[in-house]
Amino acid sequence: MVTAATSSYRGRRPAAEILMAIFMLVLGLLSILEQTVDCRRAVKHRHHWKANLIKNYLKNHKSLEGMVRLVDGETEYEGNVEIMHLGKWGAICDDEWDAREGQVVCRQLGYNGTSRVTHNSHFGQTARKYWLDNTQCGGQEMEISECRFDSWGENDCDPSEAAGVVCGSPEPEKPKYSVPAVTVSAKKVIRKYRIKDTSGSDIELRLAGGRTSEEGRVEAKTNDGWGVICGDGFGVLEALVVCRSIGLGYAAAAFQTDKFGGLDLPVVLSTVECAGNESSLAGCYHQHKATCSTRKETVAAVVCAREMADLAVNVDELIRSAYLEDRQMYFLQCAMEENCLASSAYQLRRDEIDWHLITRRLLRFTAKITNVGTAPFRPAVPKHLWQFHQCHMYLSKHANTLSHRHRVLRVGQKPMHYHSMEVFATFDVLDGGGMKVAEGHKASFCLEDNQCTDGAKPAFACADYGDQGISVNCSDIYRHNIDCQWVDVTDLNPGLYTLKVSVNPEHKIPEMTYANNAAVCSMFYSETFVKIHDCVLQNP
């Protein structure tokens, strides 16, 4: 039987901060001792000694503060990202970790662009505390610490959520490390191999070590015989392919763990990466050499289920409802607290005295999200961990801000973590080259049945702390007039763009398929109006 328990990382002070406090306390005690014990000593000398100590401490801190490095990669251009804060290295959580963050990290390291960003502890589980979570860069920052993020150390992530990057090789004119030219060009190739090309197209799979036949560690039979899959990078998309290919339906959970045993078995596949729609694991990618690079070794494990939720974005509602609104920043202050405006708005608030009189241009639309699956969609959040956001108290719908959630599944003695979903939907505007030029950020949400069809009865309602979720054949509707239900397009020039509305974009909550989770539409934007048309559904 599976029982749920909870824990929250909120309110825990960073150890380094405590050390700093102790350091200051000791300094204070020293100065009191000095004053009482050694009265005749030269006052000047004493002050000099103390000032130097503090000055050096701060100087050392300053030069290292915000520094980044890549760890556990095969080359120096790749790895999990770690950042220095208060004299201590920490990891970065993969929530909202995407191309822009990768770009900033690689630039900060002096490398030539990002090849890709990685999630789910692709380069191994981290043993470090997370310094950053929910990072949001504009892309032009020189250092990742200049981007917006939850405050230092505040996070809801477990060790299997480390963020990583694969950077391009250093620019020839200013190489940061002296690497032989031959090596540099060789390292530019991203090593990605289809499993069927290297380990055979007939990968047999089975589950073992679970309490039911629907759960357990994943065992695979390749040319090397039966063995386990290394846990590095293993997530919901990979679990979905595993459950599908052994005929057990859909993935209800993916784990990087040793709770189902298997550490004594040979590793036959590692760093497996799927798109989620493959019919067999053979269609997925992996690292050619099957090794677990991790300090803490884990194997891939899954829980499968026959019935599953499946969210889909309603395209007609999107096309029908889109319009532009110009709004003064005075009225957008709550929205700013929730990171719902573009970076330039925050810059204005810093730099301009009359910032609250400046208007922003918002592309507003209604997002209707329907559950077309066979099981209710539930955010993995127990009710008592919901946070109540003061700014949103006046709204009848969306009264709760759901963030900092943590759900723990207990197997045997030790807890295992379900990933939480902080971002329910994302709204992006892309230019002709596929570059993100504007984005909406929807951290605050409340899931409920606003409209049901095919005889389904609404079961979820947010009012009065009701249960949250979306029932089968019901839709959750975010109307165009709700706070943050927009993309801030102030910085956009008139022209042709692509609007992309994605739901459950980071695959944090299991679904039947993610192929219907993003509506990708053409967008015509002029000085005075916007037209959304020709939408297709695809992967987020």
Ligand X SMILES: *[C@@H]1O[C@H](CO)[C@@H](O)[C@H](O)[C@H]1NC(C)=O
Neighbours of 176 (CB within 10 A): 11
Report what 172 binds from ligand X, Ca ion, none; CB cut-off 5-8 Å by kind: ligand X
Q: What whole-number distance in Å separates Cα of residue 272 and Cα of residue 285?
A: 6
Q: Is 539 in the site for ligand X (CB under 6 A)?
A: yes
- Residue keyed to tokens 């927009």: 486
Q: What whole-number distance in Å separates Cα of residue 312 and Cα of residue 453?
A: 14
The interface with Ca ion within residues 509-528 (CB under 5 A) comprises: 511, 516-517
Which amino acid, 283? G
Q: What are the angstrom distances between the C-alpha of 261 and each of 149, 161, 227?
A: 36, 21, 12
CA nearest 333: which of 314, 349, 321, 309? 349
Report what 96 binds from ligand X, Ca ion, none; CB cut-off 5-8 Å by kind: Ca ion
Q: Is 74 in contact with 140 (CB distance < 8 Å)?
A: no
- Residue keyed to tokens 């039979």: 221
- Minimum CB separation of residue 74 from ligand X in Å reads 18
Q: Which helix (H) or strand (E) holds 185?
A: helix 181-187
Question: What is the contact mask toward ligand X in residues 441 to 460, using x (rule: CB under 6 A)?
Answer: -------------xxx----
Contact pick of 57, 67, 116, 136 for Ca ion (by CB under 5 A): 136
Nearer to ligand X, 275 or 537 (CB): 275
Nearer to Ca ion, 292 or 484 (CB): 484
Q: What are the angstrom distances between the C-alpha of 287 and each of 97, 277, 383?
A: 22, 20, 40
- Token pair of 239, please? 């679990």
E strands within 107-214?
A: 114-118, 130-132, 164-167, 193-194, 204-209
Question: What is the contact mask toward Ca ion in residues 418 to 437, using x (rule: CB under 5 A)?
Answer: ----x---------------
Nearer to ligand X, 413 or 453 (CB): 453
- Residue keyed to tokens 């950020």: 441
- Minimum CB separation of residue 183 from ligand X in Å reads 12
Q: Is 540 in contact with 502 (CB distance < 8 Å)?
A: yes
Report what 113 binds from Ca ion, ligand X, none; CB cut-off 5-8 Å by kind: ligand X
Q: Is 168 in the site for ligand X (CB under 6 A)?
A: yes
Neighbours of 435 (CB within 10 A): 11
Q: Is 310 in the site for Ca ion (CB under 5 A)?
A: yes
- Minimum CB separation of residue 442 from ligand X in Å reads 22
- Minimum CB separation of residue 515 from Ca ion in Å reads 7
How many residues bind to ligand X according to rule CB under 6 A?
Answer: 15
Q: What are the angstrom distances between the C-alpha of 502 and each of 429, 475, 517, 519?
A: 11, 15, 6, 6
The interface with Ca ion within residues 41-100 (CB under 5 A) comprises: 95-96, 98
The interface with ligand X within residues 99-118 (CB under 6 A) comprises: 112-113
Nearer to ligand X, 135 or 473 (CB): 473
Nearer to ligand X, 280 or 339 (CB): 280
- Cross-strand partners of 205: 220
Q: Is 284 in the site for ligand X (CB under 6 A)?
A: no
Report what 451 binds from ligand X, Ca ion, none; CB cut-off 5-8 Å by kind: none
Neighbours of 151 (CB within 10 A): 10
Contact pick of 70, 472, 482, 518 for ligand X (by CB under 6 A): 472
The interface with ligand X within residues 261-280 (CB under 6 A) comprises: 275, 277-278
Q: Is 464 in the site for ligand X (CB under 6 A)?
A: no
Q: What are the angstrom distances between the C-alpha of 168 and each of 97, 226, 459?
A: 18, 36, 50
Report what 277 binds from ligand X, Ca ion, none; CB cut-off 5-8 Å by kind: ligand X
- Which residues here bind ligand X, judged by CB under 6 A? 112-113, 168-169, 171-172, 275, 277-278, 454-456, 472-473, 539
- Which residues here bind Ca ion, judged by CB under 5 A? 95-96, 98, 133-134, 136, 156, 310-311, 422, 511, 516-517
